């Protein structure tokens, strides 16, 4: 496997050592962000690009990755990024990369493991950040559920607490089996709840119900 390591700063010795000692890596080339694509790089044909985000804006990183994917159609990209705040998460996830690796003291070993497993769509975050991310997602879920319940009430739709949970997942387009797995119910029980939701909404057809449940989240009921 040919690997292209792109960085705006000094290349870390421990990463260089790990890459050069990995038996799966045939050749590694290191280049700066502003270095033009010379003939040697054009014929290099890397299978993997490691892009160090240090000193780069999100838009710059995305542009570099886009250009690499246009030039080398089969290339996969790993974005190496320093620990970041939750405020930056949205911008980071918009970057069109295959994998995100947060730089920690074990970054060299993490890169080595990622190369060896060769799995797509890896997002390897430190445990402390992962916990914070999970907490934020849970808060958002609870807030969305409260808003959903309020919108149902505003439309004078009275559902039981369990029916609200089922309707919330139904709104997202989940099948009965998937809803049952998430709520730890039998598929038959979910089917009964869905039927009762149809009755209370006075609607028939899953698509129509899903459309209605999504519409009430977008706009307030007109009085």
In this model, does residue 6 exceed pLDDT 50?
yes
Give the CATH number of the domain where residue 194 resides.
Answer: 1.10.10.10
Core vs surface per residue 172-183: b (16+ CB within 10 A) or e: eebebeebbeee
The rounded mean pLDDT for the chain is 79
**Could you give the number of structural domains in the chain?**
2
| Mean pLDDT of all residues in 41-58 | 81
Percent of the chain with pLDDT over 90: 21
Domain assignment present for residue 223? The answer is no
Q: Are residues 8 and 118 in the same domain?
A: yes
Burial class for 3, CB neighbours closer than 10 Å (0-12, 13-18, 19+)? buried
For the ranges 43-57, 114-128, 132-146, the maximum mean pLDDT occurs at 43-57
Helices (H) and strands (E) in the chain, counts: 10, 6
| Mean pLDDT of all residues in 116-133 | 57
Predicted local confidence at residue 85, as pLDDT: 63
Domain assignment present for residue 142? The answer is yes
| Mean pLDDT of all residues in 137-159 | 82
Whole-angstrom CA distances from 57 to 31, 33, 88, 115 are: 18, 12, 11, 25
Q: Are residues 107 and 166 in the same domain?
A: no
H-helix or E-strand spanning residue 32: strand 27-32
């Amino acid at each position: 496997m040919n690997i292209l390591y792109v960085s705006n700063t000094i290349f870390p010795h421990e990463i260089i050592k790990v890459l050069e000692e990995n038996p799966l890596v045939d050749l590694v080339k290191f280049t700066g962000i502003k270095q033009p694509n010379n003939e040697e790089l054009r014929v290099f044909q890397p299978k993997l690009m490691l892009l160090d985000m240090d000193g780069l804006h999100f838009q710059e990183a995305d542009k570099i990755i886009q250009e690499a994917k246009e030039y080398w159609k089969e290339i996969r990209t790993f974005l190496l990024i320093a620990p970041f705040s939750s405020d930056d998460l949205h911008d980071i996830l918009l970057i069109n990369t295959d994998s995100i690796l947060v730089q920690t003291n074990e970054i060299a070993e993490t890169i080595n493991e990622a190369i060896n497993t060769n799995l797509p769509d890896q997002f390897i975050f430190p445990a402390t950040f992962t916990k914070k991310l999970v907490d934020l997602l849970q808060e958002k879920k609870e807030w969305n559920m409260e808003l959903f319940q309020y919108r149902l009430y505003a439309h004078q739709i009275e559902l039981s607490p369990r029916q609200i949970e089922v309707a919330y997942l139904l709104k997202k387009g989940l099948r009965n089996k998937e809803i049952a797995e998430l709520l730890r119910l039998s598929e038959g029980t979910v089917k009964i709840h869905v039927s009762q939701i149809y009755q209370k909404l006075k609607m028939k057809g899953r698509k129509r119900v899903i459309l209605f449940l999504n519409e009430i989240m977008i706009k307030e009921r007109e009085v």
